[in-house]
Amino acid sequence: MLDAPAAAQLIEAFANTVDVELGTDELDSASALSSWLVDRGLLDHGRRISAEDHALCLRLRTGIREELGVNVGDSADAALLAGADEALRELPVLITVRGGTHDRGVLSPAPDLPPVRKALAGLAIAWSELRITGDAARLKRCAEHACAWVFWDVSKNRSRRWCSMRVCGNRVKARRHSAKQAAAATGEPA
């Protein structure tokens, strides 16, 4: 099984802070966002998050989730992607020839960013790393719209569509089968 890189694990956790099926949001407040960032080592405890920074974070998450949910042949909601791109412009990163601050790599948050924006820039860097390496193609949103959970695709050909074949895949296949049965009973083409 192919283990997800650290950047993918972070973005997967970030994207999954919203649970479509349960209708919950782990980042529903600035204080909840602060706790989430602290738990992941992106922010020091006790930092206050403004409403503006909270909104910026949610725009970034929404855009990433939208991008991860695009299947071949589908198109993403351009407004959601534009909102995420706007958020990314507010989170500049510094590119260095060698390791950045604290040897975190060649990408690091711009040094003049306030601490909360540096933490959010850490998410932007993780997303950038996935896009640059092509690993973003393995991070997907479940095709079962009632679920929409983000997962790391471990299939060889990157063709997995559901977070769980046993649950979400089975739901979709059962609905298709029922629709075919109903169409056959009424004489309509499936």
Tens-place pLDDT, residues 37-68: 999 999 999 999 999 999 999 999 999 999 99
pTM of the model: 0.84
Residue 177: what pLDDT?
47
Q: Which two tokens stand for residue 79?
A: 């407004």
User: Whose CA is closest to 126, among 112, 113, 98, 107?
Assistant: 107
Please measure the distance between the N-terminal and C-terminal CA atoms of the chain and give it in whole angstroms.
37
- Tell me the C-alpha distance between 126 and 54, whole Å: 18
Share of the chain above pLDDT 70, in %: 81
Contact 109, 93 (CB under 8 A): yes
Residue 113: what pLDDT?
96
Q: Is 26 helix (H, G, I), strand (E, B) or coil?
A: coil
Indicate the domain borders of the chain.
6-136
Q: Which residues pair with 108 in a beta bridge?
A: 94
Q: How confident is the model at residue 26 (pLDDT cuts 50, 70, 90)?
A: very high
Share of the chain above pLDDT 90, in %: 62
